[in-house]
Structure 1
Amino acid sequence: MLRRKLHPFPQVLLALLLASALQAQTRVTTPEQQFGHQIGADYVLPNYQQLVAYWQKLAAESDRMTLVDIGKTAEGRTQYMAIVTSPENHRNLARYKEISQRLAKAEGLSEEQARQLAREGKAVIWIDGGLHATEVLGAQQLMETVYQLVSRDDPETTRILSDVIVLAVHANPDGMDLVSDWYMRERDPQKRSYSNIPRLYQKYIGHDNNRDFYASTQAESENLNRQLYHEWLPQIMYNHHQTGPTGTVMFAPPFREPHNYVYDPLIITGLDLVGAAMHNRFVAEEKPGVTMRRGANYSTWWNGGLRTTVYFHNIIGLLTETIGSPTPMEIPFIPNRQISTADLPYPITPQRWHFRQSVDYSVTANYAVLDVASRYKDSFLFNIYKMGRNSIERGSQDSWTIYPRRIERVQEAMREARRSATADGVMAVGGFVTNAPNAEESQRYHQMLRTPEMRDPRGYILSADQTDFPTATKFVNALRETGVTVHRATAAFSVNGKSYPAGSYVVTTAQAFRPHVLDMFEPQDHPNDFRYEGGPPIPPYDAAGWTLAYQMGVHFDRILDGFEGPFEEVRDWNLQPPAGTVAAENATGYLLSPRYNDAFRAVSRLLASREEVHRLNGAWEQGGKRYEAGTFYIPAKGTTRQKLEQLATELGVSFDAATSRPAGEMVRLRQPRIALWDRYGGSMPSGWTRWIMEQYEIPFDVIYPGQLDAGNLRRRYDVIVFVDGAIPRAGDSDDPRSEFLNRMPDPATIPADFRARLGRVTAERTVPKLREFLQAGGRIVTIGSSTSLATHLGLPIGSKLEGADGKLLPREEYYIPGSVLQARVDNTQPVAFGMDERVDVFFDNSPVFTLGPGAESQGIRRVAWYDSAEPLRSGWAWGQNHLEGGAAVVQAPVGRGTLYLFGPEVLYRAQPHGTFKFFFNALYPAAGE
């Protein structure tokens, strides 16, 4: 009997640990006490207000947690970040942040100093949730993880809290309130769903909120980037998403190829290390169904997402995609996911799945990351220094980045050499020419990859004398938001014999974030990526090319050698352009160049304040200076100069004096009455367009299909804008399987306030009303797939991308995912006023036009076209020769109105400022309209 009362020591220890953990848990409020149920319970979904209330309570109850306000959201909510670590670490938080910043910047530190800081510092690990609000697991697992970290006292948690500072970040507060409230609006739990939400879950851009992290246009992007690249600079960031690949529970790193060529290889090996720890823990905890690499399409090529932009800042970025919903679901039977592979080592059997299981998987993943960060704390801290130091050294000397197209040129040279050797009768071992070059040849071929002109730039100069310097300043702001060091010239200087004025911006590559600098200025060279030789292409996860400097149309010089000058670091947040000037008083009027994008913002303000604005339809000279077609003329009144001075100061635009009223034809402008198409649930391209128009202060109404179908449009509007996805392709409306026929929910299932948004654009009901609008003098702007309106209207405009059989070219022959191409522009046409003769356009398998017989006689004109067999500037363009001669932008008269067709994405995610003028010009009438 006595022996039965004795317990083995491990059991005693376990009992003591459990008791300790339970005792610790009583110190903080549990989710069950706060919400009345565990996090992840079926059919319930707390909203952001409830999350904040719980976090505020936990922060008050626990000395492990601090709650930080990181800024306001688009809808005005406070965005919170929870900092969780040991009480001792909280007392020295400022010091640990300083260490993290110094190691990440890698400036002025020797290797030994860096190692000492790594030993002293704490690993800073970012875990976020909720970015894509309908992926509801993200925010819920974040609540559960924070609770476990502040409540558990087991040895692993204690070690983690001692070694690690956890940044638990809610990425989209507005969206969480919208989605959770929508789900919970039904009293009957069985009817709850977050499908058919009436609007985007981020005020302007919805799901594209994860496409904004190098441009930083949205409030939430700014808040998150400030913490990532200015405040904390974590060594690892973990971005939670949904959903997992069918037949699995989760995708977790590592990722499939390709990876981007400009960032440090320690990123790739770091991903492998952390990914292995995650998968190992899942298997050890008997949690099957986690895949990796080719188990999904995610890669590390693209820059722009919350998870991917960090790679270009020497941060290990993690992504998981996990199944799960508060409404229980089924894991289906997928035969090829029932066998173990290197990408799916532990398959899961088909079964009923509950939301709490997904929460548990997420916590396992979080703990795996925190555990490996704790165990390898010193290495992660030192490695971020090492990557930054590598970048500084590469930017301080001649360096080369090897790209696929350069390898292809060398391979072709090697093939040609082998062909020549065979033709000359030169034979090698066994009677065959060997594939491997000898030592001398190897050196020669290697040098082909490292010619002087192929060197990576030491820096870039954006001269202050470029006309649209305010847009160049916007580009610099995007760099600054993501932590890039930018300098400004305090005096005039010269580099390589070229003079630059004071105020020019200078971006050197001898800085820790050199990969991001290169990626914003240099073209991306996506490899040819096919399922098999001669087979279809594998689509990239997102864009293949995006060079922001190209998209924004800024003028810059690449400097290949080291240079110095009178430079000071720019430290301003949201840098303003230098103030413009207003010419001498007593002028007859004032002239504003159409080269400024912000000229349209200025015009909008002037029209709103009842100033008179005209536009030159042709060039005009005054005092030996030529003013190009499209120049704005503002007659002087008593109130005019004061307004212009304010505009010059705020926008950085300048106004010349007109000594007389310009000769030649002018069009008086009035504020256009603009309708912007949208749909129930919200269109992201429409949301981006809303945001752009608000930034440029252009008034507009949002219009839904039912209002279009009601007709009488010309009485209310001058312009109607249809973004990509608004108008069905020809034939779609007749196909009963068409997405356009099945998109809308049953009106009875949604609140009455939103029912007017229902409907779709159709050839039968909507197109006749649009024809009437055009014939009555209206203007219609179409972008991307909505250019199919030309076909619906019967205009002689065809597709350049059709083969001899009249069908679209197959992907094996032609495929251009999101990339930057160059087009030729006829800037004498009003829709292209103010533009250069060549422009970089963002192209995403976009329409390309041909003008059919009779088009020119009907007044149909091409405005921009691809005049080269190789228009690719950045990205991937398989079969790009098919574009040569095809039109990118077309304008067509219809009755007394005008239809504009913009094939490329001229407003793509608010990034291509270089093509904004196409859109802005189309909003105002040209001569004769």
Structure 2
Amino acid sequence: MLEKQVYPDLRHYPGGPPIPPYDVTGHTLGMLMGVDVDQVDEPVAADLTLLETIEPRRTPLPARPDWGYAFPPSSNAGFLAAARLQAAGIPVYRAAGRFESNAREHAPGTWLVPPADDAERILEQVAEETGLVVTAVDRAPRVEGHRLREPTRVGLWRVANNMPGGWMMWLFEQYELDHAVVSSLDFEGDLADRYDVIVLPSGTSRTRIIRGLSPDRHDESWRWAYGVGQAGWRKLRRWVEEDGGTLIALGSAVAAARRLLDLPIEPVLPARGLPARYGNRGGPTRITLGEVERRLRDVFRSSAELSRTLRSRVVDPTSLFFSPGTLLKQEYNPRHPVGYGMPETWPVFFRFDQAYQLLPGFDIPAEVVSRYPDDDDMVASGWLLGDEFLRERANVVAFEVGRGTAVTMGSQIAFRTQTRATFKLLFNAIFHGPSQPVTAAELATLQ
């Protein structure tokens, strides 16, 4: 479980499509959990004591500071603390830059809370449960920041029979987010009155949003999963552009967000599906010998055109690119609010997902939060065919769309809620989207 998995390159025939594994091929526990693990190949000589029980390290809450409390963006427990503080009506801030206090350096995204009685009670409770380290800050840092919206109301678009949506619901419950499942009934009113953020789990498509379950085949108990129609689709777009909503899409749901908001990205990986010879349901098409010769000349006029034709019309796409549950190398921008608390490099889980490249989009500013490195070997653990397709391609991208925001995550950064190392990307996007920027002077008030 702690070792890097090296999966064999198994094909149906040499150079042909791969033989799929039963499940995933990369499940190195330390990489999934965000824990550095060093393999020791030599016997260790040391005076050791057998521990009967292991308890998380607990750091006592410091004495009440003159200005405020701080806790790091690197711990997932910070999101639990933020959710509980919001539920108690306590203002929560995040520093937009690095600062020092009491000889301690604080990273961008550090959480900042006023020293109120209720805040101390909640922070002490979370620290006791999780080992979250809370420190004292006696003077206001000279940095800008963000004030979280109180509360941050999250809508989970859990279409019927969507397993990633079920896992996401469980995750939101564990971290006590203020959330609800988006219902078709919500579209009869004002979406902005109910949600600040809407999350589209993998498996959510434009068709499933618009059509949903049929009222003719499902009774009123399933009304939450009915389709919202074209009018609802347009309303969702207005909720982002005009009402300032935050839309977050994971995995295959990125395609729906891209189409909804005309996001300036396009997929770069070979499409999975039936080879072209199975796609013509209308029967054979007659073409002349001259047309055949013309098409062949076009195909062979350049290596790029030949490669494109082979990928789209001849070769099984899985022979070119195949990632059946692999931990892949990833680079992050921890200075971006969606990347707060992330290391500059850490593996990301990828299972039949997609990578993207940015397109010119002057009306929609975009920033890459995480990308695949310029590397010949993308695998951190597991099996991958087609490393070259991922080189320097985008995974997590943040967009400004009208008055709102959108964040797309090409890989499933919360896959089966096992990938704790990358939960922060999702939670950061949720809390930052509806937050308000504040100046250093405004941050200093903590009000």
TM-score (norm 1): 0.40
Using a 3 Å threshold, how does the CA distance of structure 1 residues 590 and 740 change in structure 2: closer, same or farther? closer
* Residue 687 of structure 1, aligned match among 166, 169, 183: 166
Equivalent of 1:715 in 175, 193, 201: 193
Q: How many residues align?
A: 393
Who is 1:813 aligned against?
Answer: 320
Partner of 1:671: 151
Q: Assess if the C-alpha contact under 8 Å between 2:210 and 2:232 holds in 1.
A: no
**Alpha-carbon distance, 1:709 to partner:** 4.6
Structure 2 residue 3 is the aligned partner of structure 1 residue 532: no
- Hey, what does 1:781 align to over in structure 2? 248
Deviations 1:764-817 (A, max 9, x none): 344322211111211011000000111332222111215746959822111111
Structure 2 counterpart of 1:360? none
Change (3 A) 1:698 1:536: same
Q: C-alpha displacement at 1:570, in angstroms? A: 4.6
Counterpart Cα distance in 1 of 2:85 and 2:210: 44
Q: Which residue of 2 aligns with 1:861?
A: 367
Q: Tell me, yes or no, if structure 1 residue 756 matches structure 2 residue 226.
A: no
Q: Which residue of 1 aligns with 2:291?
A: none
Q: Which amino acid aligns with 1:671?
A: P
Q: Which amino acid aligns with 1:800?
A: V
- For the pair 1:622 / 2:74, whether they are aligned, the reply is no
Structure 1 residues 887 and 743 mapped into 2: Cα distance closer, same or farther (>3 Å)? same
Aligned with 2:203 (options 711, 725, 747)? 725
Give the fraction of aligned pairs with identical amino acids, expressed as a percent.
Answer: 32
Give yes or no for contact 1:708–1:769 (8 Å, CA) kept in 2: no
Amino acid at match of 1:720: I
Q: Distance in 1 between matches of 2:126 and 2:346?
A: 27
CA distance in 2, matches of 1:770, 1:741: 11
Write the distance in 1 (CA, Å) between the matches of 2:326 and 2:364.
33
Question: Is the aligned partner of 1:872 residue 2:379?
Answer: yes
Residue ranges of structure 2 left out of the alignment (5+ in a row): 271-306, 439-447
Q: Does 1:550 align with 2:47?
A: no
User: What is the RMSD of the two structures over their aligned residues, measured on CA atoms?
Assistant: 2.5
Counterpart-to-counterpart distance in 1, 2:42 and 2:144 = 49
Specify the alignment match of 2:426 in structure 1: 919
Q: Deviations over 1:53-80 (max 9, x none)?
A: xxxxxxxxxxxxxxxxxxxxxxxxxxxx
- Residue 404 of structure 2 corresponds to which residue in structure 1? 897
Matches within 5 A, 1:467-506: none
Q: CA deviation at 1:828?
A: 0.7
Ranked by relative contact order (alpha carbons within 8 Å, sequence separation 6 or more), the top structure is: 2
* Structure-to-structure mapping, 1:2-41, within 5 angstroms: none
Does residue 844 of structure 1 match 2:351?
yes
Higher share in helix: 1
- Quick check: 2:396–2:408 contact (8 Å CA) kept in 1? yes
Aligned pairs for 1:259-658 within 5 A: 520-572=1-53, 576-658=55-137
> Alignment partner for residue 888 of structure 1, among 366, 390, 395?
395
CA distance in structure 1 between the partners assigned to 2:97 and 2:426 by the alignment:
20
- The Cα of 1:587 is off from its aligned counterpart by 3.2
Residues 895-920 of structure 1 show CA distances to partners (whole Å, capped at 9, x for unaligned) of 11111101111111111111000011
SS of match in other structure, 1:587: coil
**Do the aligned residues in 2 keep the contact of 1:679 with 1:760 (CA within 8 Å)?**
no
Cα deviation for residue 647 of structure 1 reads 2.3
Could you tell me which runs of 5 or more consecutive residues in structure 1 were left unpaired when the two chains were aligned.
Answer: 1-519, 734-738
Q: Of 269, 274, 284, which residue of structure 2 is paired with 1:801?
A: 269
> Does the 8 Å CA contact 1:767/1:793 hold for their aligned counterparts?
no
Q: Which residue of 1 aligns with 2:235?
A: 769
How far the C-alpha of 1:761 sits from its partner, in A, is 6.6
Counterparts of 1:586 and 1:905, CA distance in 2: 40
User: Within 2, Cα distance between the matches of 1:691 and 1:844?
Assistant: 21
Contact 1:616–1:632, Cα closer than 8 Å, also in 2: yes
**Matched AA of 2:222:** R
**Residue 783 of structure 1 contacts residue 902 of structure 1 at CA under 8 Å; is this kept in 2?**
yes
Q: CA deviation at 1:715?
A: 2.1
Q: Answer yes or no: is the 8 Å Cα contact 1:581–1:653 preserved in 2.
A: no
Residues 853 and 742 of structure 1, relative CA distance in 2, 3 Å threshold: closer
| 1:576 to 1:774, Cα distance in 2 relative to 1, 3 A | farther
What CA distance in whole angstroms lies between the structure 2 residues aligned with 1:743 and 1:718? 23
Of structures 1 and 2, the larger Rg is shown by 1
Q: Distance in 2 between matches of 1:807 and 1:672?
A: 44
CA distance in 2, matches of 1:576, 1:756: 46
- CA deviations 1:78-105 (Å, max 9, x no partner) are xxxxxxxxxxxxxxxxxxxxxxxxxxxx
Is the 2:164–2:202 contact (alpha carbons within 8 Å) kept by the matching residues of 1? yes
Letter in 1 for 2:258: A
Whichever residue aligns with residue 423 of structure 2, its letter is F
- SS at 1:646's partner residue? helix
Change (3 A) 1:740 1:781: closer
Contact 1:818 1:843 in 2 (8 A): yes
CA contact (8 A) 2:152 2:196 kept: yes
What is the alpha-carbon distance in structure 2 between the residues aligned to residue 758 and residue 584 of structure 1?
Answer: 50
SS at match of 2:318: coil
SS of aligned partner of 1:818: strand
The alignment's TM-score, normalised by the length of structure 2, stands at: 0.81
